[in-house]
Structures are given as C-alpha cells and as structure tokens.
Amino acid sequence: MKRELYIWTLVFLGILHSYLIGDVLPAIFAFTLFLYMYYSKVTFNPNVTVRVNNNLVSTEEGKEIEIPVLFMGRGIINAEFKGDYIISEKVRLRVEGQRNAKIKVKPIKKGIYDLRLKVKIEDFLGLQIQEKIFPGVRIEVVPSVDSIREAAKEEYRLRLKERYKKGIVGTESLDFHGLREYIPGDDIKKIDWKASARLKKLIIREFLKEKDSEVYIVLDQSREMRKGKIDYASALALYIATMLIRNGYYVGLIKYWEGGYKRIPPGRGEGHLNKIRMEIKYKRERGILSLRAEIGKVSTRALNFLRKSFRKKKGIWEALLEIKTPSYIVIISDLTSQTSRLYALLSMIRKKHRIIILSPNPVLFYQGDLNEETLRKLYKRMKEREKIIRKFNSLAPTIDLGPSDYGKEVLRVIE
C-alpha cells in the first residue's frame, strides 16, 4: 500500500475513534492530517527534466552498458529505460537542482532500438507520485562472435545434408539408361511425358549409376586460406576423399594457390588415397583474416574474353578448364581470393560439370581480439558474406561452413 493510503486510513480511523469515545482530540488529529494531505496535493507540482545523449550507442548483445542521464529538478526520482528486448536497472535517487546518474541496460537481441526513459517523481515524504516518459537513446545491438556461431550452426547443419545430396553425388548420373513404367513413389520430375502420351501410361526415364563417375576435390591453398582455415579445409578434403574412394568412386585432387596449381588425376584404392593425403601440404600464413570479398557483374562479352585469357593463366582456371569429361567438382574455398574471377569461371563450366562449393566462413573462423569496433566490422562482413553466398548459390550449391560443421554430419551424408 502507498503511504498516502495509510494516511487516509488514519484520517478515517481518527474520525471514527472520536465518534465512538466522544473525544474531540482524535478528530482534531484526523483533521490535521487531512489538511496536510490536501496541502501536499495542491502544492505538488514537480518540474523534473532529464537530458540524455541522443547519439547512437553501439553495443554487443548480452553485454551490459551504462547510459549516463542528467536529472534536473527537485524530488525523489525512480527511473528506468523501457524498450524492446532490453533489461534495465531501476535507479532511485534524490534530486535537488541537478544530479548525474548512470543506468545499466542489457540488450538481449541484435537490432536497433529506441529506448524511452520512464521516471516516477515523488515528494520527499513519498505521499504524491507523478509518472513521466522522456525520450531516451537509440542503441544498435550487434551480435557477438559466439552468438553468430551459435545462430549459424543449426542453419548450416540443416542445409548441409540437402546441399550434399543435390551437389556432390546422389544415386544417379546424367547418363541416360532407359525407360520403365512409373511406380508410386517415383520422382515426377523423371516422367517422360512424350513417351507417356505415346504409350498411354506413365513412363520414367532411368539413369546410370554414378559409381564410375569422376570426382575432383578442389582445395584452395591461397594465402587467405592459410590464415587459420587451412587445417579445417584439409581435414574436410581428406574426409570427403576417404569416404568417396572407399565407396568406389574415382577421386582426383586439385590444389591451387596464387599463380600455380597441382593436379592428381582421378583414381581409387588405398594407394591412391595415400597419394592424395601426401599431397595436401601447406604452409601457414600469419596475419589477420581478410573478411572482404566482392563480385562484379560479368557480361557475356566479358565471359568470352575471360574464357580465352584463362587458358593462358596458371591456377584454378587452367586446372578446371583441363577437365575434359563431365565430372563432379567439390570446391573447398573461403571465396575471399579473386572472387570475381572464380565466379566467372564457374559461370562457364557449370553446364559441363556438377559443382558444389564448401566455403569456410572467415567470420566464424575469426580468432583475433574482440572489441566494439571489431564486432561492428564482423557484423557488417557477415551481411556482405550472405550476398556472396547467394550469388554463388545461383551457380552451384554453396554451403557456408563454421568450425564445427564437418565431422559426423558430413560423413553421414557421404556414407
């Protein structure tokens, strides 16, 4: 109960007591309290104002920050910030003139939010209360690296199986084998409608099994990949090579770097697997990971020019253009080195080969110092990265990977 309610209760009890015992003193006491309450209500006119820095405040989700507030006026003040997805500290202070305070706020979700300052003003006895809402501050909440990893992990795992099924090796190849009658449960995309109309029953096109298909694992060993991601990429390449060879596929390896490449023709068997294992060698590079990658628009004329010029260059372009027969190509690259040229190359060869891209995300592999400025850059690069992945997805299934995205999930899909 409020103090004001207690006093009004005393007024009522004083009058009642005076009436019951026939004594005027309790009534005088009750009347005095009544006059005091009336006077305090009439004279209570708080003129409290606040001043908050209106500049945009940036912070990390889940991280507590202090917002400075200047209170001006007179009275007992209870203040807290109100807004979406924030937890605010409640402060109580006495103000006579001016007083600075810092209110702690903890955002729990990324985004940009406008906070309002809710202020309750009391007189010094706490009998009268007035509530005001003041404009507060706008805060930008960026995700932490940990939250990026956690949020992305489940999504990547869900996409992993689907992309592998669509992109690496399924159960059938593009080589046409023959026709057969439709069986309930068959994929309707395989129905040969012309043959069905001619034979007056549903006919399915069958394809040859892919056990004899060639698979190339293309491993990016450029300088940026050697900054923290090469161990992951090499282990992933070995996982894929091991499982495909043990399942009877012909597997080759192409490793490339700035201005050079090495190609191991497809083969199978434990001896060939050991040969691939010995070839995956690298030298780590020091330095901070580059997070930028851009793709420019490539016109038809530019593609024709690049098709001619690529044959004169050494690197992934020459290596992939030398693959004569239609094959499955698994590219392991972070897509930060010569991104536009790689995009143009895949635009040329995707009609001939089946391609899948496994791309270690530089943001998720970042291991440098974390501060407010770095987190802003990581958040911005994550948004740019999404655009890059969408563009490459238009050419071939592209999986954006984090440090924990290979292992059981990858092996289970390949098996």
Rounded CA-CA distance 293/339 in Å is 6
Burial 21-45 (b: 16+ CB within 10 A, else e): eeeeebbebbeeebeebeebeeeee
Rounded CA-CA distance 324/314 in Å is 17
pLDDT score for 299: 52
Q: What is the pLDDT of residues 353-387, one digit of tens each?
A: 889 999 888 888 877 777 778 888 888 888 888 88
Q: Dihedral angle at the C-alpha atoms of 299, 304, 310, 311, nearest 10 degrees?
A: 170
CA distances from 81 to 40, 47, 63, 72, 360 (A): 29, 20, 16, 17, 40
pLDDT score for 143: 66
Q: Give the pLDDT band of residue 31 (cuts 50, 70, 90).
A: confident
| pTM of the shown model | 0.51
* Mean pLDDT to the nearest integer, 156-174: 46
Q: Give the pLDDT band of residue 252 (cuts 50, 70, 90).
A: very high
Q: What is the pLDDT of residues 44-83, one digit of tens each?
A: 777 888 888 767 787 877 888 888 999 988 888 899 999 8
DSSP calls for 204-246: EEEE--STT-EEEEEEE-STTTTTTTHHHHHHHHHHHHHHHHH
pLDDT score for 253: 93
H helices present in 132-203, as ranges: 145-167, 193-199
Q: What is the pLDDT of residues 77-115, one digit of tens each?
A: 899 999 888 889 999 988 888 899 999 999 887 778 888
> Is the alpha carbon torsion for 310, 315, 317, 323 positive or negative?
positive
* Mean pLDDT to the nearest integer, 279-307: 54
Which of 38-47, 112-121, 282-291 is most confident? Answer: 112-121
pLDDT score for 379: 84
CA distances from 393 to 29, 117, 167, 382 (A): 84, 46, 11, 16
| Two tokens, residue 409 | 């999930």
* Orientation of helix 270-279 relative to helix 230-246, angle to 10°: 170
Rounded CA-CA distance 58/378 in Å is 14
Residue 373's H or E segment, with its range, is: helix 372-393
| Two tokens, residue 145 | 């690296």
